[in-house]
Amino acid sequence: METRQHFKNSWEQIIFAALPNNIRNIIKAIPQRLLSGLEEIRIREGRPFTIYSYGDVYFISPNGQPSFNPAEAYYITNYDSQKILQLISNYSIYALEDEIKNGYITLKGGYRIGLTGKAVLEEGRIKTLKYINSYNIRISREVIGAADKVLPYIIDKNMVLHTLILSPPQMGKTTLLRDIARQLSNGFSNFNGIKVGIVDERSEIAACFQGIPQNNVGIQTDILDACPKAEGIVMLMRSMSPNVIITDEIGKFEDIQAIEEALNTGISIITTAHGKNIQDALNRPVLANVINKRLFDRILILGNSKGVGTVEAVYETKNFTNILKSPIK
């Protein structure tokens, strides 16, 4: 039986199984320096084959060479697009209908494929997608130890502080959150492991495949996969007695209501939201409500001054003092 760690070290094996041979061969020819930092493979029918690596976008030629000129790229055909759909669904698109209506599927190993096409509605809700022609293959990577330098700021006297992590997209929020969950659950020097609950609405933190987490989120962690945040927080409170609940990208008023309910029961909350800084967050009504109420003890700001995932600031919210002396990568 292949282990979870084997899959994490063999993304090519899993991703290639979802791609037609010609695209596999193009990817194999991409320079290793770009494959090492590969973040996304973007496949859009009738448009250039594109990858994102180390934060930059590259158009990929038929022989695997990167370029900043889209005219030099391989252009995705209808055959490519339809073949990918057949492969990821094992030639039975209806078997994945429940996942497809959410706009993505998760492969073994935690690799997620986002999908777009025409939404099919039923009673005003998305039933499924058809005419799927665009794919975003995200290369999930665990960074064990990513939370080492921030844990002293979110734990005080063995108590986990209510923490909000702010950053623009693709600055490492989820990677940081994943390692925080692992370390709080497993325990570390001078901190005994505690019960962690994860509401993984977008299946990115734990990256469950058929219910089993493909990422290492800790031995005392319970996961609600593909569950809306507000409902999931309440479910975990009622059924799993967590010490801390972790979730990603709050943005609705019902999320805040559920968080307040959890805080009132003594459960710690660690979550993330989009925002370049506190002022940017204050311009968003939901986040402004959170910040002005001082629901969180600490606010961490992520950026890229020292590379993607740099912790730029850590605010103590009683008086919004930045207690971080200098950015940490």
pLDDT at 7 over 50: no
What proportion of the chain, given as a percentage, has pLDDT over 70? 97
pLDDT at 170: 83
- The edge-to-edge listing of strands for the beta sheet with 112-122 is 66-67, 56-60, 50-53, 38-44, 125-138, 112-122, 104-106
Question: What per-residue confidence (pLDDT) applies to 10?
Answer: 66
Backbone angles phi, psi at 67, to 5 degrees: -150, 155
Alpha-carbon gap, residue 83 to 20, rounded angstroms? 6
Output the pLDDT for position 4: 38
* Beta bridge pairs of residue 41: 51, 137
Q: How confident is the model at residue 2 (pLDDT cuts 50, 70, 90)?
A: very low
Mean pLDDT for the chain overall: 91
Please give the model's pTM, rounded to 2 decimal places.
0.82
Tokens for 326, please give them: 């200098």
Burial profile 209-245: b = 16 or more Cβ within 10 angstroms, e = fewer: beeebbbbbbebbbbbbbbebbebbebbbeeeebbbb
Residue ranges in 155-202 assigned as alpha helix (H): 173-186
Is the pLDDT at 109 greater than 90? The verdict is no
Residue 153 neighbours by CB under 8 Å, 6+ apart: 298, 300, 314, 323, 324
Q: Please state, as a whole number, how many other Cβ atoms lie within 10 Å of the Cβ of residue 48.
A: 20
φ and ψ at residue 251, rounded to 5 degrees: -170, -5
CA 128 to chain centre: 22
Average pLDDT over residues 238-249: 96
118 confidence band (pLDDT: 50, 70, 90): very high
Q: CA–CA separation, 219 vs 100, rounded Å?
A: 30
pLDDT at 110: 79
Query: Is residue 67 within 8 Å of 73, Cβ to Cβ?
Result: yes
The one-letter amino acid at 168: P
Report residue 228 as tokens: 């809306």
The full DSSP string for 221-286 is EEEEET--HHHHHHHHHHHT--SEEEES---SHHHHHHHHHHHHTT-EEEEEEE-SSHHHHHTSHH
In 3-state terms, what secondary structure has residue 35?
helix
User: Taking residues 70-89, what's their average pLDDT?
Assistant: 95
Residue 20: what are its φ and ψ, rounded to 5°? -65, 160
DSSP-assigned states of every residue in 60-101: E-TTS-EES-GGGSPBPPHHHHHHHHHHHTTT-GGGGHHHHT
> What pLDDT, in 10s, does the model give residues 275-310?
999 999 999 999 999 999 999 999 999 999 998 889
